[in-house]
Chain A
């Protein structure tokens, strides 16, 4: 285990060392690339002024709401489509067509319809997170062992009870894989949403840093985004390990 951590840390440390050397003895100017010390100073200044928390919290909140909405809608629609051929015939072709649209293409419409406030951003994040969850859940339900469903049928368990007691638990591994990918997508779309129009958030720090040529601010935002993405991914994996205690496969 310790060996694995060491291996995982080797590349980031090398990159950090390279960054440090470039900005000190390498002679690269701060306007091009801020040094680690600049970034640390910026981080401390932001933390002291409270802006760090404002921006971080704004972004985390948007991702949380967008992801939660996507999860909820994907579970409802995915279960309905996965279980009922009739609902599938009615819904799935449309959803697949919508999925084929690059999600950023919705941005102009969202801005026209919902303005530049929170709703538009959260909606865009939800659109981005929805499809991986939906697609994986439907595939997972397709793969549920017919034999387990028959057991329930013989016992007279049908409809909603069948979904709740057999189909969803059996499809849970796929749902969680979809949720993990969906959460990554949520962060991706957060940045897209915040780059377009926002007054706070990590994406806003990126735009602001660019506009006033502050590479230290840009790098700070990038580091924070990397940290948030990594943390949320680890949290999802921990959740998977907790919920999938019953699977026979290798640990994910």
Chain B
């Protein structure tokens, strides 16, 4: 079967900096891949290239199916209510008729009439998620969608995203610098490092660890974390995202 997303030897430079040089990545249908890496390593650029917002200088990206993207910020139209913001993505009556359902799905039924300025950060991000889900995209691109939220809310929304991805049988690419989030949501984790960015590490999350939480400290999880470099004695100190994992 053809991969859902095929990044085929793309190159991208910003002035003197080479972000990608013949970079490759395949994502299978219904797979959730987490891209981990320090800020500025090219994770977001990769996602923007897949979404078509940034053009790679060379190489091709093949995508089979419609793409939906959730950004780091909610990016709601401030003059539209939640309901109208979600309906913003509608292309016809069929999708317009689904607006209420999607708002229910993200748990915003009570807030459908509110303007963005009256929403909390978590509610706004839920509304943005609903707008993206309205078109039932086959491929969901998540660009650090939860990084601006506080810890408790992040846990809650991680659960919501996991459920939605499962229920809609979507392919998902999650860009994050949070190791725990990657472990919780992903089937496969790809670590980007260097300039140009390389896949410095790649591992499959064993089924027993998927959807596991920080509290589930099993031997298998510890092994996985240390493979990701979340262990000071190994190659830890050079990786900024370790700080997040160290909380446990």
Contacts and interface: CB of A to CB of B under 8 A. Distances in A.
B115 A246 contact: yes
Interface stretch (A74-82, A143-151, A204-212): A143-151
Contacts of B68: 154
Contacts of B69: 154
Contacts of A245: 115
B51 A166 contact: no
A169 interface: yes
18 contacts: A147-B73, A147-B75, A148-B75, A150-B53, A150-B75, A151-B75, A153-B53, A154-B52, A154-B53, A155-B89, A165-B88, A166-B77, A172-B79, A245-B115, A246-B115, A247-B78, A248-B78, A248-B117
Interface of B: 51-53, 67-69, 71, 73, 75, 77-80, 88-89, 115-117, 135
Interface string A215-252: 00000000000000000000000000000011110000
A53 to B, nearest CB: 40
Contacts of A165: 88
A150 B51 CA distance: 10
A45 to B, nearest CB: 50
A150 B52 CA distance: 10
Q: Which 9 A-B pairs have the closest CB atoms?
A: A246-B79, A248-B117, A151-B75, A246-B78, A147-B75, A169-B79, A155-B89, A246-B115, A154-B69
Contacts of B79: 169-170, 172, 246
Interface in A153-196: 153-155, 165-166, 169-170, 172
Interface of B is mostly: loop
Counting chain B CB atoms within 10 Å of each CB, the highest count among A151, A165, A245, A247 belongs to: A151
B106 to A, nearest CB: 17
Contacts of A154: 51-53, 67-69
B71 A169 contact: no
A245 B53 CA distance: 31
Contacts of A248: 78, 117
Nearest to B71: A147
B147 to A, nearest CB: 15
Contacts of B117: 246-248
A154 B63 CA distance: 14
A172 B79 CA distance: 10
Contacts of A170: 77, 79
Contacts of A150: 53, 71, 75
Given A155-B89, A248-B117, A148 B77 contact: yes
A148 B67 CA distance: 17
Nearest to B117: A248
A147 B117 CA distance: 17
Contacts of A169: 77, 79
A48 to B, nearest CB: 49
A247 B117 CA distance: 8
Contacts of B53: 150, 153-154
Nearest to A145: B75
A172 B88 CA distance: 18
Nearest to B116: A246
Contacts of A247: 78, 117
A166 B76 CA distance: 11
A155 B88 contact: yes
B44 to A, nearest CB: 12
Nearest to A151: B75
A247 B71 CA distance: 22
A246 to B, nearest CB: 4
B8 to A, nearest CB: 21
A239 to B, nearest CB: 15
